[in-house]
Amino acid sequence: MRFILLAFTVFFSSVWAEENVISQARFFRLLKIKPTDEDAAPFGGLNTVVITHQALLGKKKKLEFADVGIKDLRAFSYLSDLEWLRLSHNPVFDLSPLAKLKNLQVLSLYGIPKSKNVSSRISDLKPLAGLNNLWSLALDEHSISDLSPISSLSNLRTLYITNNEVSDVSDLSVLTGLKTLFLSYNDISDISPISALNQLEWLRLSSNKISDLWPISGLSMLEQCYLENNQVSNLAPLANLKQLRELKLGG
């Protein structure tokens, strides 16, 4: 009797596992598209969708697609094993499909350069608020102004928000584990919240509206600091930064 019960359990588990494997045909149905390049265009094209499905079946942890025209991220919402996702230079704007990817550690979503007239850019970071395993986040070339949703990401070590619409960096003051922070080409004048980030090694603040550098005078681990194209006249606050190896000014 025990043997029969065990055999039934193994058989049932096998059937359940097979039923929960998402076939390619089902994957296309879930995305509500036909397997054609035209239908798959918002997802980066047919080849991109097929590779994404293969990554799902193989439980891949890393995936990268650069400049393939991805607008819709829904295909990635099924890849719960993903730890690294790099989707540079794609016209992405809605991050909500990524909210379920709790294993993500590295997320790179460099946008399309602002020199190109593209309307699809990320502005809302709320879907990232629960991705607590993230340690690297890159969101250059978008339309981000509100950083409050990522203030809960205490494991962040690198953050790239270059060329956005940020003016208030107060929400970053709690991210005390940051070692790299790139905020060039924004609208920042007050950098006092950055004074709390005493683990910073690389800091880029070029092309903002900064005049007062005293808030970074105590960042004793700082090795690189870019400050071109600001309104700085007094460099005395940098005098005690003994680890500083690279400093860029002017503009």
204: β partners = 182, 226
DSSP 53: H
pTM metric for this prediction: 0.90
DSSP 242: T
Do 130 and 151 meet the contact criterion of CB atoms below 8 Å apart? no
The 10s digit of each residue's pLDDT in 5-38 is 444 443 334 333 344 689 999 999 999 999 999 9
Which of 187, 247, 250, 185 shows the shortest CA–CA distance to 216?
A: 247
- Rounded Cα distance between 81 and 57, Å, is 10
Question: What is the dihedral sign for C-alpha 113, 114, 118, 121?
Answer: positive
In what order do the strands lie in the sheet containing 62-64?
62-64, 84-86, 106-108, 136-138, 158-160, 180-182, 202-204, 224-226, 246-248
What is the reported pLDDT for 34? 97
**Domain 60-248 fold:** 3.80.10
Residues of the chain whose pLDDT is less than 70? 1-20
What is the reported pLDDT for 20? 64
